[in-house]
């Protein structure tokens, strides 16, 4: 066993194209095995297996260095950060010929990346997207198993984008990914902060820790803003206003100029109907209007986020006319067309704030009643469950509580956590069978009403235990209404 400097290993990986491995079962002779720490399984437990399979180098925490046999050892405090540096060296992603724009925030990441993709593609750029719905670039499309891929996959995909001639890449960056250094080694050229509201507290424990994870996309380890990236920060949210104060060169954006200072893109909703939005915007002495078929003030903020980062990259506001032709995002207030002409919408809203935004958008559209079918995911932040119930009780006329992705919890137990929040609801139905709940929601619809099916959006499966069963809210509606 020998001790090996990380910088020297980076150089060797770059020069020799050495394979990197984080799964001991995939270790090959001479590869570099990085023992990643984890809550359910720790890579240090599999060092001996990786070495037995021929791993020539092991990157691990100092306390695990004694388990490495004859392999060269790189001990470091943060193997995840080291993996990013090694992946960058292996795949040549240290200096990409295109900017990578990271988008973070509790809500709005997917719509923002889709809008960025549409805007820059309309401007003649080849684009790549990594996000909740899919990973795609010219010649490649795959469904996404998670919002932000693991570190090795991120760098592999960025290298593939380079080979495909991509001009701009957009990546949803989750708080988990930032906390776990899954984007370590990525030289972001741009960063967008949409908002921060309660979610993932089962993981982060409190909002301050959640905020600090998100802020890693904008601030270095010393708390100083990255000088080499275009930043756009939504300041209507207090967490965004705080972040903007820490990154004074960022472009702030919002629907209110309250407390705004420095560079600020101010938007105003001129009209909001079921046909879409018309907005006025002002930035550094220039003013313009634009329209979009998207509905709701929260989508107005998403549109401003995209314009803010685009302005930072030098696009002219004239380019924003393309938003008129944006056709929306799968599972984001997606209208399900049907021969009965019922107003049925599917949305990914799975946080209290997201539900409030979507329901307010439907309220503002003038429907007589709103029926909401929703549930909460299992093995996720329990504290938000009654808050989601409160949002539905306050803004819906009828609530139909059901199962979402229960994972390893009993659906009835999850629903029991939601019920206190529904105490003020006018009318409540409950059924853990999601298909039956959707049937009930459709049965309750009267002419002029709207049905919102919330929580799963674009998803095509329902996770029960460790098994993902085929299930699509959109397809279920079509089957029930006879238009599948």
- The predicted-structure confidence for 133-175, as pLDDT tens digits, reads as follows 999 999 999 999 999 999 999 999 999 999 999 999 999 999 9
Residue numbers of the domain that contains 248: 100-325
What local confidence, expressed as pLDDT, does residue 196 receive?
93
What local confidence, expressed as pLDDT, does residue 94 receive?
92
Q: Given a cut of 80, is residue 192 above it in pLDDT?
A: yes
Tell which residue, 178, 184, 183, has the closest CA to residue 203.
178
pTM over 0.75, yes/no: yes
What local confidence, expressed as pLDDT, does residue 212 receive?
95
Shared-domain flag, residues 307 and 365: no
Structure tokens at 58: 């092991």
> Would 285 be classed as within a structural domain?
yes
What local confidence, expressed as pLDDT, does residue 439 receive?
98
Q: Which residues contact 38 (CB under 8 A, 6 or more apart)?
A: none
- The predicted-structure confidence for 427-480, as pLDDT tens digits, reads as follows 999 999 999 999 999 999 999 999 999 999 999 999 999 999 999 999 999 999
Shared-domain flag, residues 215 and 317: yes
Per the annotation, does 235 bind a ligand?
no
Question: With bands split at pLDDT 50, 70 and 90, how would you rate the model's confidence at 3?
Answer: confident
What local confidence, expressed as pLDDT, does residue 199 receive?
76
> Would 342 be classed as within a structural domain?
yes
- What is the spatial distance between Cα 185 and Cα 177, in angstroms, rounded to a whole number? 13
> Would 11 be classed as within a structural domain?
yes
Q: Which residues contact 135 (CB under 8 A, 6 or more apart)?
A: 129, 141, 142, 144, 149, 157
Per the annotation, does 407 bind a ligand?
yes
Question: With bands split at pLDDT 50, 70 and 90, how would you rate the model's confidence at 260?
Answer: low
The DSSP element (H or E) to which 129 belongs, if any, is strand 127-130
Per the annotation, does 147 bind a ligand?
yes
Per the annotation, does 111 bind a ligand?
yes
Last residue of a domain, one of 325, 344, 375: 325
Shared-domain flag, residues 197 and 236: yes
**15-19, 39-43, 188-192, 384-388: least confidently modelled range:** 39-43
Shared-domain flag, residues 321 and 354: no
CATH number, domain containing residue 54:
3.40.1390.10
What local confidence, expressed as pLDDT, does residue 122 receive?
97
Per the annotation, does 24 bind a ligand?
yes
CATH number, domain containing residue 177:
3.40.1190.10
Per the annotation, does 476 bind a ligand?
no
**By the 8 A CB rule, do 405 and 378 touch?**
yes
Q: Write out the DSSP string of 158-219.
A: HHHHHHTT-SEEEEE--HHHHHTTTTTT---SEEEE----S--HHHH-SHHHHHHHHHTTTB
Last residue of a domain, one of 91, 118, 136: 91
At 139 the three-state DSSP class reads coil
**By the 8 A CB rule, do 32 and 56 touch?**
yes
Shared-domain flag, residues 247 and 338: no
Last residue of a domain, one of 35, 61, 91: 91
Q: Given a cut of 80, is residue 258 above it in pLDDT?
A: no
- Cα torsion 31, 32, 37, 38 to 10°: value is -30
What local confidence, expressed as pLDDT, does residue 82 receive?
97
Shared-domain flag, residues 122 and 193: yes
Per the annotation, does 461 bind a ligand?
no
> Would 1 be classed as within a structural domain?
no
Tally of structural domains, the chain: 3
Q: Given a cut of 60, is residue 1 above it in pLDDT?
A: no
- The predicted-structure confidence for 317-368, as pLDDT tens digits, reads as follows 999 999 999 989 999 999 998 999 999 999 999 999 999 999 999 998 889 9
- The predicted-structure confidence for 301-310, as pLDDT tens digits, reads as follows 999 999 999 9
CATH number, domain containing residue 445:
3.90.190.20
Shared-domain flag, residues 214 and 304: yes
Shared-domain flag, residues 134 and 281: yes
What local confidence, expressed as pLDDT, does residue 484 receive?
74
Per the annotation, does 455 bind a ligand?
yes
Shared-domain flag, residues 230 and 189: yes
Shared-domain flag, residues 303 and 198: yes
- The predicted-structure confidence for 98-123, as pLDDT tens digits, reads as follows 999 999 999 999 999 999 999 999 99
Q: Given a cut of 70, is residue 2 above it in pLDDT?
A: no
What local confidence, expressed as pLDDT, does residue 13 receive?
97
Shared-domain flag, residues 433 and 455: yes
What local confidence, expressed as pLDDT, does residue 327 receive?
85
Per the annotation, does 28 bind a ligand?
no
Per the annotation, does 338 bind a ligand?
no
Shared-domain flag, residues 299 and 356: no
Q: Residue range 173-182: average pLDDT? A: 94
């Amino acid at each position: 066993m020998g001790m090996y400097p990380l910088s020297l290993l980076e150089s060797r990986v770059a020069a020799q194209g050495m394979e990197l491995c984080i799964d001991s079962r995939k270790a090959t002779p001479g590869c570099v095995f990085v023992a990643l720490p984890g809550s359910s399984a720790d890579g240090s437990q599999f060092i001996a297996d990786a070495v037995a399979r021929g791993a020539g180098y092991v990157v691990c925490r100092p306390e695990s260095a004694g388990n490495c046999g004859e392999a060269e050892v790189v001990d470091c405090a943060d193997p995840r950060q080291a993996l990013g540096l090694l992946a960058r060296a292996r795949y040549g992603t240290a200096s990409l010929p295109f900017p990578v724009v990271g988008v973070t925030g509790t809500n709005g990441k997917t719509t923002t990346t889709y809008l960025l993709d549409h805007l820059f593609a309309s401007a003649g750029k080849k684009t790549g997207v990594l996000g909740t719905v899919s990973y795609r670039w010219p010649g490649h499309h795959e469904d996404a198993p998670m919002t932000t891929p693991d570190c090795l996959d991120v760098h592999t995909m960025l290298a593939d984008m380079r080979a495909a001639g991509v001009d701009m890449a957009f990546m949803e960056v989750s708080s988990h990914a930032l906390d776990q250094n899954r984007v370590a080694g990525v030289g972001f050229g741009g960063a967008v902060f949409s908002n921060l509201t309660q979610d993932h507290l089962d993981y982060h424990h409190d909002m301050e820790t959640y905020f600090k994870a998100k802020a890693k996309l904008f601030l270095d380890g010393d708390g100083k803003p990255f000088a080499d990236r275009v930043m756009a920060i939504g300041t209507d949210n207090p967490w965004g206003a705080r972040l903007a104060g820490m990154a004074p060169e960022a472009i702030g954006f919002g629907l209110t100029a309250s407390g705004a200072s420095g560079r600020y893109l101010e938007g105003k909703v001129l009209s909001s109907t079921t046909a879409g939005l018309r907005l006025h915007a002002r930035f550094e002495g220039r003013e313009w209007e634009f329209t979009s078929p998207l509905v709701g003030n929260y989508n107005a903020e998403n549109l401003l986020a995209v314009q803010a980062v685009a302005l930072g990259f030098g696009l002219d506001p004239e380019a924003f006319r393309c938003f008129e032709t944006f056709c929306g995002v799968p599972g984001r207030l997606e209208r399900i067309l049907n021969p009965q002409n019922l107003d049925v919408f599917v949305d990914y809203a799975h946080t209290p704030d997201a539900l409030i935004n979507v329901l307010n958008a439907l309220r503002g559209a003038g429907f007589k009643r709103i029926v909401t079918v929703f549930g909460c995911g299992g093995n996720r932040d329990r504290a938000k469950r009654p808050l989601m119930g409160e949002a539905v009780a306050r803004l819906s006329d009828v609530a139909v509580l059901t199962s979402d992705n229960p994972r390893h919890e009993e659906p009835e137990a999850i629903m029991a956590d939601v019920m206190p929040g529904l105490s003020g609801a006018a009318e409540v139905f409950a059924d853990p069978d999601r298909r039956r709940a959707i049937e009930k929601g459709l049965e309750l619809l009267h002419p002029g009403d709207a049905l919102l099916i919330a929580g799963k959006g674009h998803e095509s499966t329902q996770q029960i235990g460790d098994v993902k069963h085929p299930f699509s809210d959109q397809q279920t509606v079509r089957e029930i209404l006879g238009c599948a």
